[in-house]
């Protein structure tokens, strides 16, 4: 499946929930969810009937996949890896998703959205333990140091994104030195630590893939 290249606000409207796909715009009055715009497509009210169990599980999976900006094949591979890990599959999935380099770059406030973070990584602006890494799906390990490459520290897009650190800081499993433009992934988070995604019902996703 090709990557979705259409208007991302349409995805939020389809889920009728904010997916935080456009950074600051999602927090502004311009967000279509704030304006209570209907779901896309013809006659959206006609599709608001009671969903089946499968329908609810599908929507939950789609929502999490879109939040992290992943294609279906890649997301299913992450689920299969989580299934093989010891422990609870749903929690393992969240740990793997949070360890993705593009997500870590976003969490460290080097980008205002995960899609922007993916671009920052792809364009070679990020180093992990001093080595340049340009693979968004690279899995960061505890105690890894993630930094902006020396020649990229003057980029306006990164400086603007870092302003968010002064407002809300970073997640408790990370440390950021905004002046040096480097941070550390201290440890893999627990499911209860990921408070901004507390409404995701990961058990539904496990049930979806179990069919």
What are the tens digits of pLDDT across the range 33-43? 555 555 665 55
Range in 19-28, 76-85, 98-107, 182-191 with the lowest mean pLDDT: 19-28
Exposure on the CB side of residue 206, measured as CA atoms within 13 A: 15
Residue 185 confidence class, pLDDT cut points 50, 70, 90: very high
CATH class of domain segment(s) 68-195: alpha beta
**How far is it, in rounded angstroms, from Cα 180 to Cα 183?**
9
- pLDDT for residue 44 is more than 70: no
What pLDDT score does 1 carry? 43
Q: Where are the domains of the chain?
A: 68-195
For 83-124, give the DSSP string.
HHSSS-HHHHHHHHHHHBHHHHHHHTTSSSSHHHHHHHHHTT
Mean pLDDT of 154-171: 90
Cβ atoms of 125 and 149 closer than 8 Å:
yes
- pLDDT for residue 26 is more than 90: no
What are the tens digits of pLDDT across the range 72-115? 999 999 999 999 999 999 999 999 999 999 999 999 999 999 99
Other beta carbons within 10 Å of 104: 25
**How far is it, in rounded angstroms, from Cα 3 to Cα 129?**
30
What mean pLDDT value characterizes the chain? 86
Range in 10-19, 70-79, 91-100, 121-130 with the lowest mean pLDDT: 10-19
């Amino acid at each position: 499946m090709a990557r979705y290249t259409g208007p991302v606000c349409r995805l939020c409207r389809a889920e009728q929930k904010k997916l935080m796909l456009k950074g600051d715009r999602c927090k502004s009055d311009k967000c279509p969810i704030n304006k209570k715009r209907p779901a896309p497509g013809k006659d959206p009210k006609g599709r608001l009937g009671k969903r089946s169990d499968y329908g609810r599980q599908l929507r939950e999976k789609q929502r999490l996949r879109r939040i992290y900006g992943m294609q279906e094949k890649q997301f299913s591979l992450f689920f299969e890896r989580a299934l093989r890990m010891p422990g609870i599959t749903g929690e393992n999935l969240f740990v793997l998703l949070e360890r993705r380099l593009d997500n870590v770059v976003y969490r460290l406030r080097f980008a205002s959205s995960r899609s922007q973070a993916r671009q920052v990584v792809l364009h070679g602006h990020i180093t992990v333990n001093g080595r340049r890494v340009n693979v968004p799906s690279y899995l960061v390990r505890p105690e890894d140091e993630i930094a902006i490459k020396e020649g990229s520290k003057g980029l306006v897009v990164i400086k603007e994104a870092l302003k968010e650190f002064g407002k809300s800081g970073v997640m408790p499993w990370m440390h950021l030195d905004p002046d040096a433009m480097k941070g550390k992934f201290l440890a893999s988070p627990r499911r209860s630590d990921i408070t901004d995604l507390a409404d995701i019902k990961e058990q539904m996703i496990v049930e979806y893939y179990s069919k």
